[in-house]
Amino acid sequence: MILSRLPRPQPTLRLRLTLVYGALFMVAGLTLLGVTYLLFNQQLNHYFESRYMPEPGKHKQMMLLRNGVELSGEAALDFLARQEMELRDVAVTSLITQGAIALIVVGAVAVTLGWVVAGRVLTPLHQVTATARRIAAAPMADRGLHERISLSGPDDEVKELADTFDTMVERLDHSFDGQRRFVANASHELRTPLTLNRALVELAMHRRTATPDVKELGESLLEINARHERLISGLLLLARSEQHIADRSPVDLADVVTHVVAQTDAFEAKVTVYEVAEPAPTTGDALLLERLVHNLVENGVRHNVDDGTGWVRVVSRTVSDGKVEVEVSNTGPSVPPYDVPLLFKPFHRHGAERTVTGKSAGLGLSIVRSVALAHGGDVRARPREGGGLVVIASLPRPRA
């Protein structure tokens, strides 16, 4: 049996710094203890040689009194040598033992202090990491770019890193703002020629001299022009919905669902719309939330079966985790699970809808996702068993 190799947990930088501090302290302590031992041994030899060792040729004249017994000559010298050996062993043993104990105790204190100091030193890096994680965890790429580290302290390498990170995020924030402004301005500028084109085509179609071919061509041009107008309106709404919602007002999604279902014209598409509007209070921009529900219902009606048995079910409810939901399910063609995430991308269409004459601009679910994220919620979808799709938009409930 072959066991898969699991990745070993890597030690943190704080632990590695603490181990380095402790290792350096122990090396320095052992070096100091060794140097002390050498100096102590040298001083001890000098002491015995200068005080107890007789001059050459005079050791036979040495006399010692030990326990009332006189020792002289070689006996006295042997006694002094044994005394020197015993005293040296006791002194060296005491020095090494007590020095080792002191080194261990002080080393433990040094490792503890190293752990605390490493934590204090790495605190700015933790702040940088926390800010980067908040930006990365933002539901959209430009949502968290207003975050700044704003690290205070001395001008060292860590502060330089934090300031560089702030500069990079600020430039990205300006870039995304410029991109949104460009989309909004370009959409506004494109509305004027489209309006003029529609007026000219309608004028040409309603002339008395207009032939059937001209009228048929005009209808085709008006359909294309209308699709372009819907596309530009969708781009404008998408650019607006990607901005943070600052001014919020109380909104009940049940009222929004009732209003949207009443305004939905599903008779031509031969689709029945069912409504289950339970109370679902939230806060936000009422117009954007109405657009969210409208796009979900419109998407359910458009992508449905055409045999007269199709239906769309719209439900608003309050769930237990502090959120409210709008669920729209419908009958329709089967959607592969791997294709569901692509439905929320701009200009993506499921199926063989034509690009030029199709009624959809490919921005419906993209706008739904942007509106939900701007309100602090999210959108998820799954294929419905038997065909169709189930889309759930979750929004936070208002705080008490």
Structural domain contains residue 308? yes
Q: What pLDDT does residue 143 have?
A: 58
Q: How confident is the model at residue 4 (pLDDT cuts 50, 70, 90)?
A: very low
> Which among 85, 115, 137 is the end of a domain?
137
Instruction: Please give the residue range of the domain that contains residue 34.
Output: 13-48+73-137
E strand map for 216-278 = 249-252, 271-277
Structural domain contains residue 219? no
Q: pLDDT higher for 244 or 23?
A: 23
Structural domain contains residue 106? yes
Average pLDDT, stretch 186-201?
80
Residue 140: pLDDT above 60? no
Cα dist. 62→72, 75, 87 in Å?
5, 9, 21
Beta bridge partners of 66: 69
Cα dist. 212→205, 216, 217, 224, 357 in Å?
9, 6, 8, 19, 20
Q: Which residue in 400, 398, 376 sits closest to 283, CA to CA?
A: 398
Say which range, 52-66, 73-87, 155-169, has the weakest mean pLDDT: 52-66
Average pLDDT, stretch 121-127?
81
Question: What CATH number does the domain containing 386 carry?
Answer: 3.30.565.10
Q: Using CA atoms, how far apart are residues 154 and 142, in angstroms rounded to an integer?
A: 30
Q: Using CA atoms, how far apart are residues 94 and 92, in angstroms rounded to an integer?
A: 5
- Pair 377, 255 in one domain: yes
Structural domain contains residue 361? yes
Q: Which residue in 277, 235, 242, 241 sits closest to 259, CA to CA?
A: 277
Average pLDDT, stretch 165-186?
78
Rounded to an integer, what is the distance from CA 323 to the centroid of its chain? 22
Percent of all residues in the chain with a pLDDT value above 70, rounded to a whole number? 76
Neighbours of 277 (CB within 10 A): 19
Structural domain contains residue 381? yes
Q: Which residue in 258, 297, 280, 260 sits closest to 394, CA to CA?
A: 280
Structural domain contains residue 358? yes
Return the top range by mean pLDDT from 9-18, 125-134, 249-258. 249-258
Number of domains into which the chain is organized: 2
Neighbours of 72 (CB within 10 A): 13
Residue 354: pLDDT above 50? no
Q: How confident is the model at residue 381 (pLDDT cuts 50, 70, 90)?
A: very high
Q: Using CA atoms, how far apart are residues 95 and 38, in angstroms rounded to an integer?
A: 11
Structural domain contains residue 41? yes
Q: How confident is the model at residue 242 (pLDDT cuts 50, 70, 90)?
A: low
pTM: 0.52
> Which among 115, 137, 159 is the end of a domain?
137
Average pLDDT, stretch 320-348?
85
Q: What pLDDT does residue 51 have?
A: 59
Structural domain contains residue 284? yes
- Pair 254, 378 in one domain: yes
281 within 8 A of 396, measured Cβ to Cβ: no
Q: Using CA atoms, how far apart are residues 116 and 252, in angstroms rounded to an integer?
A: 52
116 within 8 A of 125, measured Cβ to Cβ: no
Q: Using CA atoms, how far apart are residues 326 and 302, in angstroms rounded to an integer?
A: 18
- Pair 266, 390 in one domain: yes
Residues 6+ apart with CB under 8 A from 89: none
Q: Using CA atoms, how far apart are residues 29 and 34, in angstroms rounded to an integer?
A: 9
Q: Which residue in 83, 76, 79, 81 sits closest to 58, CA to CA?
A: 76
Q: What are the start-end ranges of the H helices in 303-331?
A: none
Q: What pLDDT does residue 391 have?
A: 94
Q: How confident is the model at residue 380 (pLDDT cuts 50, 70, 90)?
A: very high
> Which among 116, 137, 158 is the end of a domain?
137
Percent of all residues in the chain with a pLDDT value above 90, rounded to a whole number? 12
